[in-house]
């Protein structure tokens, strides 16, 4: 009898363990979602193979989630990349491809081309900031705090976008949230801005890539950048600790990623693999325990982020989005076969490069082959390593590999085997045995660019002039119209594509997204605003009229 009882207990224990290991509570219809993002950082996490950088907070997140090893930005620089993230659209398909557009002091500055005038890109009328879809579905959406979308975010994009924005600010603690925290510690500028901060990595311990000369300045900049990554890890850990303090760790899906590759010379702004591939982690507490701590090698593009979040939140994905969901109920049936990227104006310097990557091979199309790879960007000249590289170039002390960046021209097409040639020095497009692969990638690129379009074919200021109807200022969003029918209030705007926001109390902290007719309670007033992205905001109208 004892043996039978013991056997029953053993079976019960095994069944319990199996259930715990393989089954979790189903996710709510609208799960909480947290984004922790950093800037200008490649694979500098212990969980992504770094031997020098100690990142225990994000490594733990990776151990509890999934590491995606083939996540790619759509640009090697901040603003075009962030435009693709917030819209789910390739930047050159909507006119946000040039770095950067919103520049108040750009006129007559040598940091921008002659005749340049700052502008907020007038993107297609059907394109929205994707948090607007989340807000319309009941989410509380916050951004802390960088936007940099190449256009002014409309008032309906976020509940709060500031250095104080936090899920803790939502008035209803049961309301689902989407919260973004962006850390600038790893940004390119912090290589020189934090020079006097303690180093956590020794310069003598770093590996100097072959495209750099081995100088004290280069070693110090690399060590500073890696040290900044370690500081960022601790900052990310504080946000994760707040999530645990609030009892939300077990019902919040957490993402971590960088906005593009390292903020170092010949990496940032490039559309080679080193400029585009980023560390990417997702911790989903609703998946079984035995599926955590895994590695996923599928290709992911930043245009996939918006549809993936909508999929996880059980919100229909708009058909115009150019990415595909890789998680959630609307997950694409087939993983991506290719990721795409673009490079256009960088500050004062024009170029036009397009990229296709299949996970191993990368194809580049250079539309301005007469231009050098190198661009004399004033902002980057503040970096000591850049100054050191240029000094050695002038002295004739760079080797052939290091001089490649400064070639006076470049081929129209380039093809690289990133598995066997990770630094992308050997152009296979010039080799007979790779012509079939070259044609395959060329054809993929041609089909893609025909499908999504490319507004960079039009000169930048001509594009802006067309958007603005030949005037010196952008169009004005029309004043919204308030219509009252019985107890229902309907809001409309004559400007196609304008988002309408409203408040029922003037002191309310944010503009709510208008989606359906409203009712007012006794003592309520109504304040209404509208904006199409790229247009000037409308004036505010009220009801009852004040």
Residues designated catalytic: 78
Q: Position of tokens 């709060």? A: 160
Residue 529: strand, helix, or coil = strand
Q: What is the dihedral of CA 152, 155, 161, 165, to 10 degrees?
A: 180
Contact 363, 438 (CB under 8 A): yes
The Cα-based distances of 407 to 268, 372, 393, 402 in angstroms read 18, 6, 12, 10
The beta-strand segments (E) located in 58-100 are 66-72
- Nearest to residue 511, comparing CAs of 538, 475, 485, 474? 538
Contact 96, 85 (CB under 8 A): no
CA distance 278 to 276: 6
Q: Look up residue 487 and give its DSSP letter.
A: T
CA distance 170 to 163: 15
Contact 139, 175 (CB under 8 A): yes
CA distance 165 to 149: 18
Tokens of 89: 């659209």
Tokens of 149: 């979308």
For residue 269, is it left (φ>0), alpha (ψ between -120 and 50) or beta?
left
Tokens of 26: 């189903």
CA distance 450 to 1: 75
**β 277-283/252-258 pair status:** antiparallel
Buried b / exposed e over 394-412, threshold 16 CB at 10 Å, is eeeebeeebebbeeeebee
- Round the CA-based radius of gyration of the chain to a whole number and report it: 25
Residue 465: strand, helix, or coil = helix
Contacts of residue 443, defined as CB under 8 A and 6 or more positions apart, other chains included, come to none
């Amino acid at each position: 009898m004892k043996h039978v009882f013991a056997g029953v207990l053993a079976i019960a224990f095994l069944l319990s363990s199996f259930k715990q290991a393989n089954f979790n509570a189903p996710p709510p219809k609208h799960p909480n979602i947290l984004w922790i993002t950093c800037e200008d950082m490649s694979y500098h996490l212990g969980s992504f193979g770094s031997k020098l950088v100690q990142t225990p907070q994000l490594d733990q997140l990776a151990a509890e989630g999934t590491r995606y090893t083939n996540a790619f930005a759509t640009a090697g620089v901040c603003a075009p990349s962030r435009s693709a993230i917030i819209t789910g659209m390739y930047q050159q398909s909507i006119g946000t491809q040039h770095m950067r557009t919103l520049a108040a002091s750009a006129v007559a500055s040598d940091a921008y081309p002659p005749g340049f005038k700052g502008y907020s890109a007038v993107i297609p009328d059907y394109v929205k900031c994707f948090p607007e879809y989340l807000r319309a579905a009941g989410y509380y959406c916050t951004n802390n705090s960088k936007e940099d979308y190449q256009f002014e975010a409309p008032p309906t994009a976020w509940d709060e976008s500031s250095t104080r924005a936090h899920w803790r600010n939502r008035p209803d603690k049961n309301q689902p949230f989407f919260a973004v925290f962006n850390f600038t510690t790893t940004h390119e500028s912090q290589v020189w801005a934090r020079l006097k901060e303690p180093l956590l990595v020794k310069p003598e311990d770093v590996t100097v890539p072959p495209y750099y000369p081995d100088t004290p300045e280069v070693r110090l900049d690399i060590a500073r950048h890696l040290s900044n990554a370690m500081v960022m890890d601790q900052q990310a850990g504080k946000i994760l600790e707040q999530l645990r303090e609030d009892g939300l760790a077990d019902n919040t899906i957490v993402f971590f990623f960088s906005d593009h590759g390292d903020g170092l010379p010949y990496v940032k702004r490039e559309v080679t693999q080193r400029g585009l591939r980023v560390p990417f982690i997702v911790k989903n507490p609703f998946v079984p325990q035995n599926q955590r701590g895994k590695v996923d090698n599928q290709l992911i593009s930043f245009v996939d982020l918006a549809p993936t979040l909508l999929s996880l939140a059980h919100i229909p994905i708009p058909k115009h989005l150019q990415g595909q969901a890789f998680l959630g109920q609307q997950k694409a049936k087939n993983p991506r076969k290719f990721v795409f990227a673009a490079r256009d104006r960088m500050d004062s310097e024009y170029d036009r490069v397009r990229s296709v990557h299949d996970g191993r091979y990368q194809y580049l199309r250079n539309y301005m082959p007469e231009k050098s790879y190198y661009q004399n960007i004033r902002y980057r000249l503040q970096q000591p390593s850049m100054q050191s590289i240029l000094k050695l170039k002038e002295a004739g002390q760079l080797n052939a590999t290091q001089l490649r960046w400064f070639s006076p021209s470049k081929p129209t097409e380039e093809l690289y085997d990133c598995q066997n040639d990770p630094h992308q020095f050997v152009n296979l497009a010039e080799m007979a045995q790779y012509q079939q692969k070259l044609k395959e990638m060329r054809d993929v690129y041609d089909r893609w660019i025909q499908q999504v379009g490319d507004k960079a074919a039009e000169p930048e200021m001509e594009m802006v002039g067309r958007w603005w109807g030949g005037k010196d200022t952008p169009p004005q969003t029309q004043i919204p119209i308030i219509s009252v029918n019985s107890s229902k209030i309907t809001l409309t705007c004559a400007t196609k594509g304008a988002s309408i926001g409203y408040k029922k109390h003037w002191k309310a902290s944010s503009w709510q997204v208008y989606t359906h007719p409203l009712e007012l309670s006794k003592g309520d007033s109504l304040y209404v605003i509208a904006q199409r992205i790229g247009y000037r905001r409308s004036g505010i109208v009220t009801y009852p009229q004040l």
